[in-house]
Structures are given as C-alpha cells and as structure tokens.
A = this chain, B = another copy of it.
C-alpha cells in the first residue's frame, strides 16, 4: 500500500459502471473508510476520451489507461473498459507493477483468467471480479467463501438480464421475439449489437467463471454448449405454461463421476421453482452443495449502481485483507453508532383488520366513521356472507398507512360499538415497494 493508512485506487473506463464506482468512492468516503478499515481514495482515472462534463475530484486523469497501471501511487487498478485486448494488456501491466486488480470483465476472465490469475498469485497481488457475473448479486463471494465447506454438485442461473427481459415479455404478453428485442434496445437493456445476449455467449462467459469456482476446474471458455433464445416462439412459451412450466434462458453446470456438463439454453422449469418467478431484467443463481442443500440468490444483474456495488465490495475486501481481517460487524466495534429506536406505536403500516359484527344496516357506516375520525383511510372493505343461521358476519378491511397507536385507539372505539364482537384480528401489511 502506498501509505499504511490509505488505499489508492485507479479507475480505467468511465462508462456507466465506472462513473457509478467513482460516485460511490467520492460520495461515501466516511462509510467506506469505516468498512475498509482505512480511507479509500480515487487517485487516478483512465479515460480514453475526454468528457468535459465529468469531474473526478482531485484525481489525475490520463488518456492512456496504461499510465494508471504505471502510476506508483495506485494500489488497486479497477478495470472497467471491457473487451479482451486493451483490458488484457492493462491488467497484465498492473499485475507486473504489483497492483491489485478489480474487474467487471466477464469475457476477459473467462478467456484469459487462467493466465491472469496465475500471474497475480505469483506476484502476490489479488485479482477480484465479483461484478463479472450477475451484476449486484454476490455469487462469486458466496461460491468462493460461503460455500467453501461444500462439494458443489450443480448450479443454474438466469445470468443474462436482456435475455430474461425478452423472454418475460414474450411469455407474459405473447409478444414476438423481434419486437421485444427492438424494445430492449430502445430501453438500453440490449447492446446495439445484441448478438452475445441473444446467442448465449454472454451467459456462457459467466457460466465458465461460476463453474470454475464451483468445481475447482480451470476456466474453460470452450466448454459450454450454447443455444440462444432467438428461435423461441410465443406459442412454445404458451404451451409450456399450460403444462405448468416457465421457459427461462439458463446457464446450467453439473459435475458427476463422468465429468462436467456446462450448457446455456432455453429451459422449461416447473412453475413452483424460485427461478421460475424471476422476471424481467433480474438475475438469479441457484446453487446446490452437499452440506448446505439449495441456495437461491436473486437480484439486479446489471445497471451502473448495482454493478458498482460489487466492484466496490471487491475494493473493500482488498483493503480489509491488507489490514488483517475485516471487523466482525462490518465496522470496528468502536465505530458503531447508536441510533434511536422508533417505538412500536409510531411505526406506520398498512393494516389488515378482521372484525365480527351483527348483520345489521348501519354497522359498516359506524366502523368507517370511527376510522375516519382517526384519519385512517380504508383501501378495501369486504363483508363476508354470514354462516348459515348465524346472525354475525366477518368484516375484512385493509387500510392505507396508519400508525399502530392510531389503529389501537380506533380499534378500542370500534370495540365499544354495540354491534361489534370483541374478538378481532389486526395485522400489518407490507408491500415492500420502494
């Protein structure tokens, strides 16, 4: 490290992900310093083209990305330029210069990872690539570290967001492939040349990386069997649905006595599997290990901020490894900050209420009147038919946001209504919509 108490990073490539990384490093300074156990500082930016509207704080800016790899002040080189030519030379140079490397480049790791990782291990530097597979989903770390005590037998993933978006649109709306592809391009999900998303090459690169981690085999770029999604018809998706299946473009890897199978293809999976309900641009990976059983991780597979989340996690890991081990609670115990806790009464939710009341006119009006007097508004209200011979009916209602205190006072008043039974249910509703 250039200084005992500081980690200097150089970022090469200032596209969506690069800019998001720079934004996190420059705006979350205190948080990253706590978690990395030392300050993380942007020292040098490699931007092959001039962007007059981008500011990189105090960092040096070079047009030649190799200058970042040669900069003696850079501890960690973050490669976000993509491709397998300049990026390859850049990372080789960075390793030769004794720098740690973080990259989001799946094609490069799948194709040249064996060489680059061996070089890094010989040089005693780290090379990390969490962002290379499934964007913000930490599947590399989970395989590499969390499942270290497992023999992994199988993994399967939706690891191309563009393809999953297209399939989701085709199957939920019956739209044709070409039409949805055009929309995906207009929305910026698919590249101008979407070949690698469509024919499975992108997913195959990711599967190669996952398989190496899962099975302890060298990165084997030619191993996956590939079939794209371009020949799927809405009719097939519909027939599959009628049979209880969803069609997903999966990367699948398995190991057995016979060897390793790696394949990327449209796959029918039963409706009730977690992977079946992963729609749109989301990614997901399922892993089976002999000890853990089956784990499924679901999250954003692309996007600048989500990918930058993984890139920066790699940077923090490198800092922690240099400083010893990371702190048990993420930050050192001395850096924990107490915050006030919100009392139950003040916590607002939507609410589910079940009441039992006499089946008489005016009851509903009385109940809604009480709620209104406490400014609790009703989202829906259902009066169930009475059981045969019964004089009482269940009433179910959902409210909009209200505090627990307001609900409890209102319920107390409702219980005083002559027509209402004293037994009721009051449950919180959470839609988790952000």
Chain A contact residue count (CB 8 A cutoff): 145
What would 4 more interface pairs be, CB under 8 Å, given A231-B425, A259-B342? A136-B293, A239-B394, A268-B352, A291-B308
Chain multiplicity (copies):
2
Q: Which listed residue (B215, B327, B380) contacts A121, Cβ 8 A?
A: B327
B240 close to A352 (CB less than 8 A): yes
A31 at the interface (CB under 8 A from B): yes
Q: From A114, which residue of chain B is reached at the shortest CB distance?
A: B333
Q: Per-residue 0/1 for A312-339: is the Cβ within 8 Å of any B Cβ (1 yes, 0 no)? A: 1101111011001111111111111111
User: Which of A66-74, A187-195, A297-305 interfaces with chain B?
Assistant: A297-305
Please list the 3 inter-chain residue pairs (A to B) with the smallest Cβ-Cβ separation, ordered nearest first. A149-B312, A138-B146, A259-B340
B428 close to A235 (CB less than 8 A): no
B325 close to A429 (CB less than 8 A): no
Chain B residues contacting A275 (CB-CB under 8 Å) are 432
B150 close to A347 (CB less than 8 A): no
User: Which of A49-57, A85-93, A123-131 interfaces with chain B?
Assistant: A123-131
Q: Which listed residue (B138, B236, B255, B342) contacts A427, Cβ 8 A?
A: B236
Cα(A27)–Cα(B386), bound, Å = 63
Q: From A259, which residue of chain B is reached at the shortest CB distance?
A: B340
Cα(A326)–Cα(B212), bound, Å = 15
A425 close to B347 (CB less than 8 A): no
B294 close to A398 (CB less than 8 A): no
A142 at the interface (CB under 8 A from B): yes
Cα(A317)–Cα(B328), bound, Å = 12
A239 close to B336 (CB less than 8 A): no
A354 at the interface (CB under 8 A from B): yes
A182 at the interface (CB under 8 A from B): no
Known A-B contacts A145-B326, A336-B217, A341-B223; A292 and B429 likewise in contact (beta carbons under 8 Å): no
**CB-defined A-B contacts under 8 Å, sample of 13:** A36-B148, A141-B142, A144-B328, A217-B336, A219-B329, A236-B427, A260-B340, A265-B427, A272-B277, A293-B306, A294-B434, A297-B297, A318-B325
Cα(A168)–Cα(B104), bound, Å = 40
Q: Which listed residue (B24, B145, B273, B337) contacts A216, Cβ 8 A?
A: B337
Q: In whole Å, how far is A287's beta carbon from the nearest beta carbon of chain B?
A: 9
Cα(A243)–Cα(B396), bound, Å = 10
A430 at the interface (CB under 8 A from B): yes
A312 close to B236 (CB less than 8 A): no
B262 close to A341 (CB less than 8 A): yes
Q: From A294, which residue of chain B is reached at the shortest CB distance?
A: B299
A118 at the interface (CB under 8 A from B): yes
